[in-house]
Structures are given as structure tokens and as C-alpha cells.
Amino acid sequence: MKPVHCAAVDLGATSGRIIVGTWSGRRLALTEAHRFPNQFRPLAGHEYWDLPYLWGEVRAGLIKARKQFPRLASVGVDSWAVDHVLVGRGGRLVFPVHAYRDGRTAAASERLGRSGIDRVYSLTGIPNYPYNTSLQLQETLSAHPGVAKVAARCLFISDYFNFLLSGRMVNELSIASHSQLIDVRRRGWSRAALDFFGIPPGLFGRPALSPQRLGPVAGFPELRGVVSVLVPGHDTACAFAAMPAAADGSDLYLSSGTWSLLGFESEVPLLGAEALATRVSNERMGDGRYRPLKSCLGLWLLDRTLPAFRSRPRTAGEWRRLIDAAARAPAPAELLDVADPSLFNPASMRAAIESQLKGRGARAPRDLTGYVRLICDSLGRGHAGAVRAFERLAGRAFKRILIVGGGSQNRLLCQATADAAGLPVESFSLEGSAVGNLAAQLVALGEVPGMSAFRSLLSGQLDGTRFPPAGRA
Ligand code: ADP
């Protein structure tokens, strides 16, 4: 067969990428056409995204991709969730696009109280976070009531870039599900949640399943003939879609980076008091099924500890030597409680760790090697706790944990997770979001019969490393 080329636009909060995937029937080869930094910008006490800049970079990247691959067939967009663009009927911005880190929703989040949190969780299956779209829109509409008169649609970031490419305003389900406004029992918006937050239902279109074709890229001569495809709009949904998972649903997925995002695929959501106490987020996949997810503090702990040491690793070789040394170090007598809020954003992570250990009468490590050992073992125990909570809540037993992200390169973390969870861990080096985005395009183009067919083709191509749990090798 002739190779097929698709472009994934993968927009992250700190960087964006245009990656071309070349599919030759069995293998997917990736070419990075363009990469650019992203950051929100402060203005008079608020934080905003710079959309004209982002669109300029996406355009430039797609033009480069087309030059490199003149037969480029399609383009799909995934992005970070919760942030959104309010547009008028013709697509003009009617309100500045705030970044999720903006503090404007903190007070309303506090005011929700126990009963508000319980009610919204029972409606939407999404726990309360100050940055949820629900609270952001509530704040916008109460601080500026006139916005409701001029805003015709609310588009999430990936929805908005799809609109710029195709001219179509579509709310894709996976990214919409993170808003805390989708009905957890159906595939539509929750009228009760919209009323609770005072948001007019007319701002949204019926949530669309993905993948599907949106139409030709319009108003962009350099991309004439390229098809705009609706892929799962949320980058985590794309990353999970790319996992080389077993078809029987017995795998847990762990995206291990700044955060540890642990989840699995399910036909039903996890609801109720224990699911809420565990902060299970019932996000949706492109096809409408559920992806219960728990996010725990991840390698941020290590990232923030490193600046306290001059010997911090900078190259892959230095990382390997540090992790090897930590693996040989004695196991710590006490592990960290990684759910302790004092570790979320302390001025000094090393001091915060020392103080937590001191509070329990334990001694802090003396050197970086000791901290790496302590952090990896503690994260492993945290992952195991989430695995057990999922097993209890879902009433099922999982067989493996598949790890992607920066943490997949940390063999100590992989082994600690396997040992604590009593499950084999398989680590993969995978450009998760981009691969899931490209896979969805190939399915929409009819090049691959479906996402599960793609996964089984991909798993033959990937070299995973297996970490059996201690004593069960
Ligand atoms: P995110 O996308 O959430 O910002 P990443 O998935 O890029 O994060 O993971 C970043 C983490 O990966 C770093 O904090 C570091 O602990 C870990 N990491 C990066 N490179 C290596 C390496 N060569 N070996 C082991 N760990 C690594």
C-alpha cells in the first residue's frame, strides 16, 4: 500500500507539537514537523492564553508538514482540557481566554461546600477542582453578565482549533467530559449541572463522538485537499487510546510525569461516596465509554527536590547512574505520604519532605540518591493504593500496569510500582497523545478498521520492558 501521512496537532500547556505520522499498513513512523513553547501570560492580575500566537505556530507547523509530506491526508487536534473559548455566532472571541491556573475561581470553589461537591459529583462523575470549566464559566458569567448575550458557543481548546481549520463548531465528548458539565449517565450535557452553575445550555452543541471526519480544511490554501478529522480532543484521552492494551480490558494505564494519572477503560462509571472520596474522575473516551482516572502527585516530587542538590542529572546517562545508585541504596524505613497537601507546591520540597518525616519520628535521607529511592518507593506505594481502590470500586482484578511518560524511563519507579501493587508493570516509550491522535485519524480515513485493531498492530511494533513484582518473577 501507499503510505498515508496524517498530522497530529498536540497542544500542551507548556509546549505544542505538530507530528506527522506515516502509516504503511503495519508500522507508524513519526516525524516531528514543528515544536513550540506555550505559556499563559499575566495581565493585571489574571492569566491568559495567547491564541493568536498559538494559531500562528499551528499554521506554520502545518505548512512545514505539508512541504515535507505533499500528500498529507488529514489533520487532528488534541489539547489540554478545561480551558475554553467563548465565541459569537461568526466565531469572534467575545471574552479573553483565561488559563486554568488563574485564581479567579478559588472563592467559588470554597463556597461549593460538601453538599455542592456531592451533588455535582452525582450528576457529572467529576470531582471538584477549582479550575473546572464549570466554575470558570460560572465566574465569567457572574462577573460579566453581558457575556451571556454575546456568546453563542463555548468551544474547548481543541474544539476551537478544529473550528479554525474546518469552520465547524463541534464539542467533542472526551474533552467536554472534563468540564464537570456532562451527564455521567448519558452522552449529553447535564441540564441540572448547567443550572447549578448558572450556565445557559445553548452555549454547547450535542457532544460528538470521535473519530469522525469534520470536512476539508478551509480558508488555508497551503492545506488544500487535507481533511480535518475530529479525534479525541483531550490529550489524556488520546494518550490512553494509544496504549498497547489487552483487548479484554484487564490493563491499568499509568501516565507518569509531573502527575501520575492512573486509570482504566470501563463500560460504566464509578460513582458513590467512596469514588468521590478517592477523587475518581469519570472522564470519557472518544467512543463514549468511561475512563475512570485518579490523578496523584507524581514525579513533581523529584523534580522539585533536584534543585536542592548540585549533582542533579541532566543527561540520560546521568539519570541512569543516579537511578542505578538509588536502586542499590537500602530501602527507606518510612515512606512518604504522597497525598499530603504540604507536598503540593512547597517553597522547598526537600524541607517539606524532611518536615513530614520528622513529624513521624523518621530521619530524612542524607543525599540525592537517598531522596530518589524514597520518592520512587513512596510513589510506588501511592500507585498501589490507587490500584487497590480501583479494584474495590470496580469489583475487578487487573493483570498489568502499562506505564508511559517520563516515569517509564525510571526503572526504580517501575519496579517499586510493580512490587507495591503486586502486578507486573510494562513500560513503553511512546509519544502517547500524538500516536492516539494519529490512530484516530487513520480510523476516520478507513485505513485501520478501529482503535483496537490499531492497538494490536502497534503492540507488535513497541519494545516494552517488563517488571515482574518481587517474588513473582
Ligand atoms: P510531563 O509531561 O508531565 O511534564 P514527563 O512525562 O515529561 O512529564 O516526565 C517528566 C519526568 O520524567 C521528570 O520529572 C523526570 O523525573 C523523569 N525523567 C525524564 N527523563 C528521565 C530519564 N532519562 N530517566 C528517568 N527519568 C526521567
**Which CATH number goes with the domain that contains 202?**
3.30.420.40
Which of 319, 413, 430, 465 should be mutated for ligand 1, with most atoms under 8 A from CB?
Answer: 319
- Tell whether 176 is covered by a domain: yes
Can you read off the three cell numbers belonging to residue 56?
500562528
Distance of CA 266 from the midpoint of ligand 1 (Å): 28
- Tell whether 384 is covered by a domain: yes
Can you read off the three cell numbers belonging to residue 134?
464549570
- Tell whether 459 is covered by a domain: no
Of the candidates 239, 243, 302, 298, the one whose C-alpha atom is nearest the C-alpha of residue 81 is 239
Residue 411 burial (CB count, 10 A): 18
Based on the domain organization, do 32 and 166 belong to the same domain?
Answer: yes
Based on the domain organization, do 79 and 222 belong to the same domain?
Answer: yes
CB 406 within 8 Å of CB 299: yes
Which of 300, 403, 410 should be mutated for ligand 1, with most atoms under 8 A from CB?
Answer: 410
Q: Summarize pLDDT for 271-313 with one digit per residue, the tens.
A: 999 999 999 999 999 999 999 999 988 999 999 999 999 988 9
Residue-range definition of the domain harbouring residue 399: 245-429
**The pLDDT value given to residue 460:** 82
Distance of CA 302 from the midpoint of ligand 1 (Å): 10
Ligand 1 neighbourhood includes 116 CB (under 6 angstroms): no
* Domain count for the chain: 2
Can you read off the three cell numbers belonging to residue 197?
452553575
Segment 51-62 mean pLDDT = 98
Q: Summarize pLDDT for 223-259 with one digit per residue, the tens.
A: 999 999 999 999 999 999 999 898 888 999 999 998 8
Residue given cell 512547597 in the structure block: 346
- Tell whether 197 is covered by a domain: yes
Based on the domain organization, do 255 and 190 belong to the same domain?
Answer: no
Based on the domain organization, do 414 and 300 belong to the same domain?
Answer: yes
Can you read off the three cell numbers belonging to residue 195?
443550572
Which atom of ligand 1 is closest in space to residue 258's alpha carbon?
3
Ligand 1 neighbourhood includes 319 CB (under 6 angstroms): yes
- Residue identifier of the C-alpha nearest atom 12 of ligand 1: 406
Ligand 1 neighbourhood includes 3 CB (under 6 angstroms): no
**The pLDDT value given to residue 473:** 47
Based on the domain organization, do 195 and 280 belong to the same domain?
Answer: no
- Residue identifier of the C-alpha nearest atom 18 of ligand 1: 406
Query: What is the model's pTM?
Result: 0.92
What distance in Å separates the CA atoms of residue 465 and residue 460, rounded to the nearest whole number? Answer: 13
Based on the domain organization, do 217 and 273 belong to the same domain?
Answer: no
- Tell whether 366 is covered by a domain: yes
Ligand 1 neighbourhood includes 410 CB (under 6 angstroms): yes
pLDDT higher than 80, residue 186: yes
Based on the domain organization, do 287 and 404 belong to the same domain?
Answer: yes
Residue given cell 485493531 in the structure block: 453
Single residue among 186, 202, 234 that ends a domain in this structure: 234
Distance of CA 257 from the midpoint of ligand 1 (Å): 6
Ligand 1 neighbourhood includes 327 CB (under 6 angstroms): no
What distance in Å separates the CA atoms of residue 270 and residue 264, rounded to the nearest whole number? Answer: 11
Single residue among 207, 234, 261 that ends a domain in this structure: 234
28-37 and 153-156 beta bridge pairing = unpaired
**The pLDDT value given to residue 247:** 85
Based on the domain organization, do 253 and 206 belong to the same domain?
Answer: no
Of the candidates 21, 17, 4, the one whose C-alpha atom is nearest the C-alpha of residue 436 is 21
Based on the domain organization, do 221 and 288 belong to the same domain?
Answer: no
Which atom of ligand 1 is closest in space to residue 302's alpha carbon?
16
Based on the domain organization, do 293 and 396 belong to the same domain?
Answer: yes
- Tell whether 453 is covered by a domain: no
Residue % of the chain over a pLDDT of 70: 99
Q: Summarize pLDDT for 371-403 with one digit per residue, the tens.
A: 999 999 999 999 999 999 999 999 999 999 999
Ligand 1 neighbourhood includes 288 CB (under 6 angstroms): no
Distance of CA 406 from the midpoint of ligand 1 (Å): 3
- Tell whether 128 is covered by a domain: yes
What distance in Å separates the CA atoms of residue 244 and residue 241, rounded to the nearest whole number? Answer: 8
Ligand 1 neighbourhood includes 130 CB (under 6 angstroms): no
- Tell whether 466 is covered by a domain: no
- Residue identifier of the C-alpha nearest atom 27 of ligand 1: 406
Ligand 1 neighbourhood includes 257 CB (under 6 angstroms): yes
Based on the domain organization, do 256 and 230 belong to the same domain?
Answer: no
Average pLDDT of the residues of the chain: 95
b (16+ CB within 10 A) / e for 315-330:
eeeebeebbebbeebe
Ligand 1 neighbourhood includes 12 CB (under 6 angstroms): no
Set 10, 159, 235, 251: catalytic member: 235
Based on the domain organization, do 291 and 207 belong to the same domain?
Answer: no
Segment 164-176 mean pLDDT = 98
Establish whether 235 is a catalytic residue: yes
Ligand 1 neighbourhood includes 370 CB (under 6 angstroms): no
Single residue among 208, 234, 260 that ends a domain in this structure: 234
